[in-house]
């Protein structure tokens, strides 16, 4: 059959008509795909974080770095990571006094309380292996990557806030600009390039450590073997991958 | 920050779900309750409540049409809500809402109402002209067959739809309860009692609403109140209320006796921030007083006094059930998941999720109902209802 102009236009037209939805559909298919960084094999990693409570001095640099690196709103009540200060009267451990002024962004005012046990607890998304937030998302906009990081697709999230309710740790908020759920990404844009998370990078005392549980040479294995670590709210059975060393039982 | 007491996780200070989400279970509850009252007549053959059958169905439809609006308005991205139909996340309790909603609306309510009214729609189609004729023609789906044989089929299918409808109504509201009851992070919500408490409070509120609507309609139409009908509805309201109260007391007793890690925090909240809405409005004004009124009404001879008592009981019931929804939704967010502090809900007026919109959403179902009543009159007229003219 001769390939005339009419046939050519018809073919091209069909192709164009088909390509647009196919491209749009493909966007949906790859939305949330983890494997974007060149040379990075998501399935070869399983990220975890260690927080050493005894090392934290409450300087708040992790909070500042996180907000700067990830463009988190500087308004109060939006935090991907924050620091809490616990002050526990040894005679009344059930009722700790806790504060976190502006999430610890500016550090902490000096405490004048005498005879209390005082320490700092940095908090961030626990990257739970069984995340209630992932479970409840009605459209699957929140998902777990093959390397164990819980992320939110801001182009897909409805902003229904069910995940914020479902997180037992208060790690999620609604981004005031995108009106979608937001949280710690474990600096996914950095760790997939072989970099540290911003909070780990700036911590002056090494209170935070990012480890890869799938890498047998990662010192995290040695640390977990030789320290008594805890996760937050283990009774929630969310299987967090943020491990705390030296955590007091009063911490919630 | 104002209104914070103790320690909240920094992201927790703002409430995520406000008044609109209070309206959502309140409105769907009215739908489920009104439908269940309608089924009493249809399936269980409680003839006394027959005068409210159609009104109850139309009320359920009017509220059902409005039910998704508060959810839609609350979303950060309402334009993406359709994704819940296209790509539902199978592990999410919330993802099923659209399907449960559509099933109930399209497979139960609309079909049942259509079958109930089909004869009148066809008659109106044949007797009217112009736009009205077109409208009824569309409603009749182009079929003018109202032979006794076809009406008998309508009746049989309608009964079947109602039988399917009862578990569907249970599903609809039990499901709404499950959305809250399955959040393990929140001890105020997380209880397997939640779906069943929601269900019975839904029945209570829906029956109370139809009872009030029936009185309003008779007053508006200047026709005498069928006291046998009204007494029967009030009796069913009382039964449902007693079950509802028992379930709530069981939940309360369980919480107090078990006194788990969250108990002191929640107990303190109920005695302070929720005292007015929980103890005063929900328990006393909205439950005990209407139950007492309904009980005493049974020994009152004067129909006039009984009517006044029923109106009071109905209004207080709706206040109480609204307070219950408020206490669940708002109360569940007033305390920190650290159990170390409390926050405050600040209700605004002229915002998308404010009081103004909520009031409009509460009025809207009545506007829809007025339209429906005009289109499909719920009381028998000269042409007679479907089953009034069935050959015996």
pLDDT in tens, A105-134: 999 999 888 899 999 999 999 999 999 999
Provide the pLDDT for residue B231. 97
pLDDT at A71 over 70: yes
Q: Are B380 and B374 in contact (CB under 8 A)?
A: no
CATH of A42-245, one of 3.30.450.20, 3.30.70.20, 2.102.10.10, 3.30.390.50: 3.30.70.20
Task: Give the separation between CA B40 and CA B213, rounded to whole angstroms.
Answer: 17
> ipTM higher than 0.90?
yes
Nearest CA of chain A to the CA of B327: how many Å?
A: 16
CB contact under 8 A, A140 and B89: yes
Q: Which domains does chain B have, with CATH numbers?
A: 5-375 (1.20.1630.10)
Provide the pLDDT for residue A13. 79
**Which positions in chain B touch A100 (Cβ < 8 Å)?**
7, 9-10
B95 close contact with A: CB closer than 8 A? yes
**If you average pLDDT over residues A75-88, what whole number do you get?**
95
CB contact under 8 A, B13 and A76: yes
- Per residue in A143-170, pLDDT (tens digit) is 999 999 999 999 999 999 999 999 999 9
Q: Pick the residue with more confidence: A36 or A234?
A: A234
Provide the pLDDT for residue A26. 61
B2 close contact with A: CB closer than 8 A? no
pLDDT interval class at A11 (50, 70, 90): confident
Provide the pLDDT for residue A28. 53
A108 close contact with B: CB closer than 8 A? no
Question: DSSP H helical segments within A79-144, as ranges?
Answer: 132-136
**If you average pLDDT over residues A8-15, what whole number do you get?**
80
Provide the pLDDT for residue B323. 98
Across the A:B interface, residue pairs with CB atoms under 8 Å apart total 126
B353 close contact with A: CB closer than 8 A? no
Task: Give the separation between CA A120 and CA A128, rounded to whole angstroms.
Answer: 22
A170 DSSP assignment: -
**Which positions in chain B touch A84 (Cβ < 8 Å)?**
7
**Which positions in chain A touch B75 (Cβ < 8 Å)?**
158-160
DSSP assignment of A8-28, as one string? HHHHHHHHHHHHHHHHHHHHH
Q: Are B7 and B340 in contact (CB under 8 A)?
A: yes
Q: What angle do CA A118, A122, A124 make, to 5 degrees?
A: 155
Confidence (pTM): 0.91
Provide the pLDDT for residue B315. 98
A167 close contact with B: CB closer than 8 A? yes
Selected for mutation to probe chain B from A139, A140, A166, A248 (highest B CB count within 10 Å) is A139
Residues of chain B with pLDDT under 70: 1, 381-392
pLDDT at A1 over 60: no
Task: Give the separation between CA A199 and CA A72, rounded to whole angstroms.
Answer: 13
Pick left, alpha or beta for residue A166 (phi over 0 → left; psi -120 to 50 → alpha; otherwise beta): alpha
Closest Cα in chain B to A125 = B11
pLDDT at A135 over 90: yes
């Amino acid at each position: 059959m001769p390939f005339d102009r009419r046939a050519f236009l018809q073919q091209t037209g069909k192709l164009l008509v088909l390509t647009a939805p196919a491209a749009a559909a493909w966007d949906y298919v790859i939305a949330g795909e983890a494997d974007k960084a060149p040379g990075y094999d998501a399935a070869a990693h399983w990220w975890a974080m260690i927080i050493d409570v005894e090392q934290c001095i409450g300087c708040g640099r992790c909070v500042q770095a996180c907000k700067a690196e990830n463009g988190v709103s500087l308004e109060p009540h939006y935090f991907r990571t924050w620091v809490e200060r616990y002050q526990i009267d040894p005679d009344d451990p059930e009722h700790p006094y806790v504060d976190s002024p502006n999430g610890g962004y500016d550090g902490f005012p000096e405490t004048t309380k005498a005879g209390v046990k005082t320490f700092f607890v940095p908090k961030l998304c626990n990257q739970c292996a069984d995340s209630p937030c992932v479970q409840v998302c009605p459209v699957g906009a929140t998902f777990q990557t093959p390397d164990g990081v819980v992320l939110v697709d801001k182009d897909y999230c409805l902003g229904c806030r069910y995940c914020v309710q479902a997180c037992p740790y208060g790690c999620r908020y609604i981004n005031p600009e995108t009106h979608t759920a937001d949280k710690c990404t474990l600096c996914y844009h950095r760790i997939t390039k072989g970099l540290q998370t911003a909070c780990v990078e700036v911590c002056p005392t090494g209170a935070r450590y990012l480890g890869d549980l799938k890498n047998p040479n990662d010192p995290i294995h040695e640390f977990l073997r030789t320290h008594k670590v805890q996760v937050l709210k283990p009774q929630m059975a969310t299987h967090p991958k943020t491990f705390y060393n030296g955590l007091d039982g009063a911490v919630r | 920050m104002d209104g914070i007491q103790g320690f909240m996780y920094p992201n927790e200070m703002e409430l995520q779900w406000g008044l609109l989400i209070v309206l959502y279970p309140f409105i769907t509850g009215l739908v489920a309750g009104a439908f269940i009252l309608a089924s009493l007549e249809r399936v269980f053959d409680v003839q006394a409540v027959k005068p409210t059958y159609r009104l109850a169905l139309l009320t359920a439809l009017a509220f059902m049409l409005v039910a998704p609006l508060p959810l839609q308005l609350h979303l950060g991205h309402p334009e993406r809500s359709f994704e819940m139909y296209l790509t539902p996340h199978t592990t999410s309790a919330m993802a099923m809402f659209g399907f449960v909603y559509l099933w109930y609306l399209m497979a139960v309510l609309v079909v049942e109402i259509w079958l109930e009214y089909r004869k009148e729609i066809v008659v109106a189609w044949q007797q009217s002209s112009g736009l009205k004729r077109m409208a009824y023609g569309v409603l009749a789906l182009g079929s003018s067959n109202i032979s006794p044989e076809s009406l008998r089929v309508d009746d049989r299918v309608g009964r079947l739809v109602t039988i399917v409808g009862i578990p569907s109504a249970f599903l609809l509201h039990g499901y709404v309860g499950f959305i809250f009851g399955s959040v393990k992070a929140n001890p105020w919500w997380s209880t397997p009692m939640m779906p069943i408490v929601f269900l019975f409070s839904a029945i209570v509120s829906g029956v109370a609403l139809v009872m009030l609507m029936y009185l309003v309609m008779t007053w508006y139409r200047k026709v005498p109140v069928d006291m046998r009908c009204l007494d029967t509805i009030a009796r069913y309201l009382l039964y449902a209320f007693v079950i509802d109260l028992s379930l709530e007391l069981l939940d309360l007793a369980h919480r107090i006796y078990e006194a788990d890690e969250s108990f002191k925090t929640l107990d303190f909240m109920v005695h302070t921030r929720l005292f007015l809405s929980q103890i005063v409005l929900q328990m006393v004004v909205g439950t005990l007083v209407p139950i007492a009124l309904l009980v005493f009404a049974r020994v009152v001879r004067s129909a006039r006094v009984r009517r006044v008592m029923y109106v009071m009981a109905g209004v207080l019931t709706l206040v109480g059930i609204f307070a219950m929804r408020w206490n669940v939704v708002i109360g569940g967010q007033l305390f920190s998941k650290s159990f170390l502090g409390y926050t405050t809900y600040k209700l605004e007026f002229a915002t998308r999720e404010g009081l103004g919109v909520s009031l409009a959403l509460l009025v809207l179902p009545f506007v829809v109902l007025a339209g429906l009543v005009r289109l499909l009159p719920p009381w028998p007229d000269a042409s007679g209802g479907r089953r009034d003219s069935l050959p015996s």
